[in-house]
Structures are given as C-alpha cells and as structure tokens.
C-alpha cells in the first residue's frame, strides 16, 4: 500500500516548515517510488495510506473515510498544554482530538509523545523518529583558548527566550575566553531590541532564521550550544516530548555540542555530546565551565566522539532507516492495538 503524506497546498518545492521536512520530504528519500506527497485529499487513491500532518482538518479525515481510504495521524507536537485559552481549546485541541479518535492509526515522534497520546486520547501509537537532515561532515576541531571561539545556537524563539543571554554573556566575558555568540531564531526582531547592549559590544549576533544560512553558520562555528531551560513544571512535558532534530543536525555537521538534560529523545546522544546539568536547574556557571573544559580537551577525543555519534545517526536516523519505518505502516494500520 503506497504511503501518501498529505501536505495542504504543497507545490513540489521543499517545504519551509520543519515538521513537513522531517515528517515527509526527508523520509521519502528512503522510501519507494510509489510513496509520495499529495496536496489535496482528492488525490488519494483507494489503496493508499494517507498520513495527515499539521494543518490537517477533520473534514480532510471525513472525506478520506468516505472513500474507504486508510488514514494515519502524525503528531509531532504536544497540543494538550496545561494552561490554554478557551479559543485554543476550540480552535486547536477539539479538532485535533476529533482526528485522533477517527483515524486508523496514530504515529508520533518519541516514546514521551506516545505516553501523552495514551493519556489524553486512550490510544496506542506508533513511534517513528525524525530523520537527520544535515549532510554528514568530517569533524573539524580548531578551538584554542587564545583565539576567538565562535559559538552557534539555533532553534525556536521559545527556547531562546528562556535563557538570560545578558547574564550568560557577562559571565562568559569575565573568563579568559574570547568569544562570539551567534544565535539564529524566528521572531528575532524583539530580541535584538532586548539585547542591544550585548549586540553592540560584539559579543552577540542575532540572525533571522534562514535555512541555508543556518548550515553556513554551522560550518563556521567552533561548537554548538543548545541550552534547554524549563522555568515551570507546566512546561516539563512539553519539553520532554520534543524531537532530537537539533542535536542530530549538529553532530551530523561534525560539531561538538554542549547541552543539558531536559528532552527525553536527546538522552541517547549523551555519549556524543556534553550534557551539563538539567533543564529545571539550569546553571550558567556550569555551562561556562563546560565551555572551558571543551576548549582544553584533546582534539582526538572530541573527534572520535563526534564520529561515533554520526555512526549512531546513520544506524537510527538516516532517511533509509526512517523511510522503512514509514513503509512498515502497511503492516500495522488497522491492526489490533493501533
């Protein structure tokens, strides 16, 4: 049975939305010629399994069911947040639940999301992790304590806003480390205003998100810094259920990574990156000490650890490995337990 990913309005260009890339276009690189993307549910055929993704509506599900077509709902975000407005419940959660209850099977990104789906919907789900997107690069470690160290941070503004970057850069400036911190995120304008002093000092550069620029900065940087900060218990499950695509892309790009525990799906990468502390007790001084330690570490050990991480990614997150998991849906959809 062909697998068809439903991306509303898809125009055969690589989608800019990360979820469409990680949950459709990249897995398709390891799938069969008959698998593909449809931009309208009317394009689905009787023998297809249609994967409904973000932006899918209950009416899309109903139209497919009316034609007797098998459906799968791919959930890659936690929408069952603890504190939400009545408008969010009506506009997002209620339609989301309707699709969850009506499809033949549910797919998700991680065991933590699988647990949350069972809690809120009472259904089992199939875990298919995200594939790697970055091109594999040979590790290049050139850090020295007496040269400017370029540090790269990237991701959603929701992660960025939880770090006190003014405090962090001030503490880093008090060390002997000469550094420049490059941060790429969406909705960057307000943060440029917030951190004008740090930007004017030359310590911090904030970039608007750009797909190609991200990999250019990745190649230029000495190491990647991905802090995970959780400021409230209400945010714990949301963080824990995130996918590992950021840390995967950094390791695949051949870069040392400093991060901390807080996202369940990142934990298998503990042997390939520096995990310093926990999201609920984020400690700035410990992170800076980790910077020092990394810069002074033997190059050979850093390179070997990255290479081991890249092998792990090849075995568990390549498009070929993930593509096979999507193809295997034909053996699971509609079966007892899903």
Alpha helices in 155-226 (DSSP H): 157-160, 165-173, 189-194, 196-200, 211-220
CA distance 89 to 92: 6
Q: Could you tell me if residue 33 is inside a domain?
A: yes
What CATH number is attached to the domain comprising 207? 3.40.50.2000
For residue 211, being part of any structural domain is answered with: yes
Tell me the C-alpha to C-alpha distance, in Å, between residue 299 and each of 14, 215, 265.
37, 23, 27
- Residue 22 to residue 319: CA distance in whole angstroms: 9
pLDDT in the model for residue 203: 92
Regions of the chain where pLDDT drops below 70: 12-16, 81-84, 145-146, 334-338
Which pLDDT score, from 0 to 100, does residue 15 have?
A: 55
* CB 37 within 8 Å of CB 27: no
Check whether residue 306 and residue 322 sit in a common domain. Answer: no
**26 within domain boundaries:** yes
Task: Note whether 20 and 125 are same-domain residues.
Answer: yes
Rounded to 5°, angle at Cα 49 from 30 and 6: 75
Sign of CA dihedral 39, 42, 47, 50: positive
In a shared domain, residues 99 and 153: no
The token duo for 186 is 């969406």
Question: Does residue 127 share a domain with residue 178?
Answer: no
Tally the domains of the chain: 2
The reply to whether 197 falls in a domain is yes
Structure tokens at 291: 């910077």
- What is the predicted pLDDT for the residue at 244? 93
Q: Do strands 70-75 and 49-52 pair parallel, antiparallel, or not at all (unpaired)? A: parallel
Residue 16, pLDDT score: 66
What's the CA gap between 107 and 73, in Å, rounded? 6
Do residues 127 and 243 both lie within one domain?
no
Q: Give the Cβ contact number of residue 322 at 10 Å.
A: 24
Residues 103, 240, single domain; the answer is: no
Q: Is residue 37 part of a domain?
A: yes
- Specify the pLDDT at position 14: 62
Task: Kindly state whether residue 139 falls inside one of the protein's structural domains.
Answer: no
Q: Look at residue 198 in the predicted model and tell me its pLDDT.
A: 95
Does some domain include residue 240? yes
**HSE of 228, CA atoms in CB hemisphere, 13 A:** 30
What is the tens place of the pLDDT at every residue in 133-155? 999 999 988 777 668 899 999 99
pLDDT at 80: 80
In a domain, 215, yes or no: yes
Q: What is the pLDDT of residue 92?
A: 81
Give the pairing type, strands 223-226 and 179-185: unpaired
- Do 171 and 304 belong to one domain? yes
- Say what the pLDDT of residue 210 is: 92
Containing structural domain, residue 106: 3-131+318-331
DSSP state of 84: -
């Amino acid at each position: 049975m062909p697998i068809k990913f439903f991306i509303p309005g898809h125009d055969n260009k690589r989608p800019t939305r990360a979820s469409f890339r990680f949950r459709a276009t990249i897995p398709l690189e390891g799938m069969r010629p008959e698998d593909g993307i449809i931009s309208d549910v009317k394009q689905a055929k009787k023998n297809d399994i249609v994967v409904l993704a973000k932006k899918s509506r209950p009416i899309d599900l109903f139209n497919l069911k009316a034609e007797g077509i098998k459906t799968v709902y791919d959930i890659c975000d936690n929408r069952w947040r603890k504190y939400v407005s009545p408008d969010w419940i009506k506009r997002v959660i209620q339609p989301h639940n309707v699709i969850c209850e009506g499809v033949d099977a549910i797919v998700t990104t991680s065991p933590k999301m699988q647990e949350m789906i069972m809690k809120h919907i009472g259904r089992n789900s199939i875990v298919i992790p995200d594939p790697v997107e970055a091109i594999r690069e040979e590790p290049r470690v050139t850090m020295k304590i007496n040269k400017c160290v370029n540090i790269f941070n990237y991701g959603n503004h929701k992660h960025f806003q939880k770090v006190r970057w003014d405090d962090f850069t001030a503490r880093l400036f008090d060390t002997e480390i000469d550094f420049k911190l490059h941060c790429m995120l969406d909705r960057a304008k307000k943060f440029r205003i917030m951190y004008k002093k740090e930007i004017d000092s030359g310590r911090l550069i904030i970039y608007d998100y750009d797909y190609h620029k991200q990999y250019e900065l990745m190649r230029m940087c000495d190491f990647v810094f991905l802090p995970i900060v959780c400021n409230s218990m209400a945010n714990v499950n949301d963080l824990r259920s995130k996918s590992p695509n950021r840390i995967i892309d950094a390791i695949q790009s051949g870069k040392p990574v400093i991060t901390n525990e807080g996202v369940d799906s990142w934990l298998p990468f503990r042997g390939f990156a520096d995990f310093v502390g926990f999201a609920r007790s984020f400690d700035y001084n410990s992170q800076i000490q980790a910077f020092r330690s990394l810069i002074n570490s033997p190059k050979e050990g850093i390179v070997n650890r990255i290479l081991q991480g890249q092998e792990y990614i090849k075995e568990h997150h390549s498009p070929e490995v993930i593509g096979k998991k999507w193809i295997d849906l034909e053996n699971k959809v509609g079966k007892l337990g899903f």
